[in-house]
Structure 1
Amino acid sequence: MSFDLTKAETPKADDAETETAPEESAARRGGLVDFLSGPAGRNLGLVLALVLLIIVGILTGGERFASTDNALTILRLGSVIGVVSVGMTFVIAGEGIDLSVGAIVALCSVWATTIATQTMAADYHWSVMVFVALAVGAGCGLVNGVLIAYGRIAPFIATLAMLAAARGLAEIIAKRRTQIIRERGFVDFFGGSVAGVPVLVIMFAAVAAAGWVLLNRTTFGRRTLAIGGNPEAARLAGIRVQRHTMYLYILLGLACGIAAVMLMARTTTGTSTHGTLYELDAIAAVVIGGTLLSGGRATLVGTVLGVLIFTTLTNVFTLNNLDTSTQAVAKGAIIVAAVLLQQRVARTGST
């Protein structure tokens, strides 16, 4: 008696399809999740959100919103906080936080517009004011970096102390007065435009491009992400975590100095009230852009899109005569939604 082993071991066509279909479906789901959790998927979502805001602006604001002048106004307003957000991206990517950026911007603007500084600028060149702003910003960043990296003070506490100290020092130097910029060369240069594009927007684009290269194409950027992902593993790999962390805060301080120069040119003043709530706006733009608050992942393209989203949102609210309280509620809701989305994507990607 014999058996046909070939027929016995060969599965039916229907059974084979039933067994492979779930695997193909899971692969498709996995591919979709990977795309949405990747840089391209996150940036696509931000672009769609920005387009939706633009459509809402056109429908509610009409020609006032759709005009070229209004578009340049949005870009000009977003450029200052955008530069701060670029620096904040590096700090958050390295598992840090900085609550003092607004106060540092104020201190830089005040110090760069004192009578002594403007007198030197008149005697030599207006670039003296730029140098002072950058030096003050870098100095504040250095203090933050040393306290956090070598003093082992929590970033939240160290930068909160800097927030109070820098704002108070700005008030003391300015005597709670607004200092007017009298050096016309400074205002004419930074307040001008090139081929119809404001210099402030060009500066923001240049800083964002330089930040992208630094983050994605250099050892400095790779070390930043490594420290944010796992500081102990980065240390064992030979990275000098403390020194690098200090550099991150100095970099953010320089960004605050650049932002102060841009704000001084836009308002032609230096005052201790400059930069109010910039820390919240910068952190919000970075988080919306897809940079993890826990560090280890960052995207400069997302940060730029986040800045544009918030600036456009503010512009739409302003054109529709909505008060600042409503704007604050909307921003808070967007931040919470972004963090919840990050957590959901992270959990889905890990399963």
Structure 2
Amino acid sequence: MSDATPTPTATPERPQLPAQSPPVDPAETAAASEAATTSNRLSWWRGDSGEGARRNLGLIGVLVVLVIIGAMTRWDLYSNPDWVWGNTLTILKLASVVGVVTVGMTFVIIGGGIDLSVGAILALSAVWATTVATQSYGAGGMIFTALVVGLSVGVVNGILISYGRLVPFIATLAMLVAARGLAAEISNKQTQLSNNTFINNIASEKLLGIPLLVYILAAVVAAGWVLLNRTTFGRRTVAVGGNPEAARLAGINVRRHTLLLYALSGLCCGIAAIMLTAQANSAQAATANLYELDAIAAAIIGGTLLSGGRGTIIGSLLGVIIFSTITNLFAINGLSSEAQNMVKGGIIVAAVLVQQVQFRSITQFLGRNRLTNS
């Protein structure tokens, strides 16, 4: 008999079942989801993405303050609802021409440029459209001429800057002088009257109680907003203004795009020329004086960065309305235009200083984050 001891048989191990998680309370899940959504909204509002909304809200607050000041200084007028409505339409009409010019200027500044010739382009387009030869073709001929002249001069600006490699400040300053001189030569330094009834009625006609000029401004602003925020052209504009070299390496034709930006600015000047001609029923070489400063100031107030790469159409529109409200406020209080210009100058300086402080703080914040991550 063998003395071998029997080997024990190994019992198979039971598979470990995964631990079951405790039941989830639907109320807690909903609360957590709502808290996450609120946190995301707050982070968007506090971050760079909500900067435009915060600025626009601040501009609306400035408008409210201006209205309060007007009510405090001239309560005899502001206590009349009919006068308030009529005065609001007057402010919007006053802002309409400069507002259309500002839309084109906003695109140019976002793209990293500047256009000092918009007032001269507007004057040249208006003078050319009101010549006797042009008016013989009727309202269609006048509108077509103003648009083509404005577009053509904008293209010349774009060619000089993009392909001639001129600094935008120098190129548009030269165009300012040349366009004013050409307008004076065409008009023989005389005021040219508009005899076309259709053109003249644009400023006086109303639709649903609102002037047609306000509808034109709204249409241009809407088209500019869509072009900047919902198209490839707008994204390329921001890219070119933010970093031209990076935009070129990304495949964007920077020269051609810059040319298109100045052409767009000239086209807006052509539209504004018809509107201004309708308001004055005439045109002259000295018209639209300093409109370029008003447009640049309104864009800066609206949050457009002078170095390019950032800006909003709605903000620029609010900037135009703020300046028009200030002009109206000074007019109803009988204050001089000199004081008004000093106030505008102070607002421009303050807006640029705010932009610089915000840009530096953002840059320092990003720099600290890079150091921390390293």
Kindly indicate whether the alpha-carbon contact (under 8 Å) linking 2:155 and 2:263 is maintained by their aligned counterparts in 1. Answer: yes
* Correspondence for 1:88 among 105, 111, 119: 105
Q: Is the 8 A contact 2:202 2:213 kept in 1?
A: no
> Do 1:103 and 1:163's aligned partners in 2 also have CA atoms closer than 8 Å?
yes
Pairwise CA distance, 1:129:
0.4
Structure 2 match to 1:235: 248
Q: Residue 105 of structure 2 aligns to which amino acid in structure 1?
A: M
Equivalent residue letter for 1:76: K
What is the TM-score of this pair, normalised by structure 2? 0.83
Give the one of 284, 287, 303 matched to 2:300: 287
| Aligned equivalent of 1:11 | none
Alignment match of 1:117 (pick from 130, 134, 151): 134
Quick one: structure 1 residues 31 and 265, their matched pair in 2 at CA, closer, same or farther if it must change by over 3 Å?
A: closer
- 2: CA distance between counterparts of 1:268 and 1:98? 27
Is the CA contact (8 Å cut-off) linking 1:43 and 1:289 kept in structure 2?
yes
Partners of 2:276 and 2:303 in 1: how far apart? 26
Instruction: For 2:354, give the aligned amino acid.
Output: L
Q: Aligned partners of 2:345, 2:108: CA distance in 1, in Å?
A: 21
Partner in structure 2 of residue 211 of structure 1? 224
Q: Taking every aligned residue pair, what percent have the same amino acid on both sides? A: 57
Query: AA paired with 1:57?
Result: G
The runs of at least 4 consecutive aligned structure 1 residues that moved more than 3 Å come to: 29-33, 63-66
Q: What amino acid is the match of 1:271?
A: Q
2:116 pairs, out of 99, 124, 134, with 99
* Residue 37 of structure 1, CA deviation: 6.7
Contact 1:64 1:70 in 2 (8 A): no
Structure number with higher helix proportion: 1
Which of 264, 267, 279 is matched with 1:266 structurally? Answer: 279
Q: Corresponding residue for 1:77?
A: 94
Q: Hey, what's the Cα distance between the residues in 1 that align with 2:321 and 2:65?
A: 12
1:267-298 Cα offsets, whole Å, 9 max, x none, are 10011121100000000000000010000001
Question: 5+ unaligned residues in a row in structure 2: which ranges?
Answer: 1-41, 366-374
- How do 1:1-351 residues align onto structure 2 when only pairs under 5 Å count? 34=47, 38-64=51-77, 67-121=84-138, 126-350=139-363, 351=365
Deviation at 1:86, TM superposition (A): 0.4
CA distance in 1, matches of 2:132, 2:238: 42
Residues 134 and 31 (structure 1), Cα distance of their counterparts in 2 relative to 1, 3 Å cut: closer
Q: Residue 274 of structure 1: SS of its match in structure 2? A: coil
Indicate the residue corresponding to 1:19 in structure 2: none
Distance (Å, rounded) in 1 between the aligned partners of 2:44 and 2:178:
49
Q: Distance in 2 between matches of 1:35 and 1:137?
A: 36
By relative contact order (CA 8 Å, sep 6+), the higher-ranking structure is 1
Aligned-residue offset at 1:217: 0.2
Q: Bigger radius of gyration, 1 or 2?
A: 2
d(CA) in 2 for partners of 1:270, 1:347? 45
Deviation at 1:62, TM superposition (A): 2.6
Whether the 8 Å CA contact 1:37–1:345 is kept in 2: the answer is no
Contact 1:34 1:349 in 2 (8 A): no
Determine the structure 2 residue equivalent to 1:25.
none
Q: What TM-score do you get using the length of structure 1 for normalisation?
A: 0.88
The Cα of 1:190 is off from its aligned counterpart by 4.7
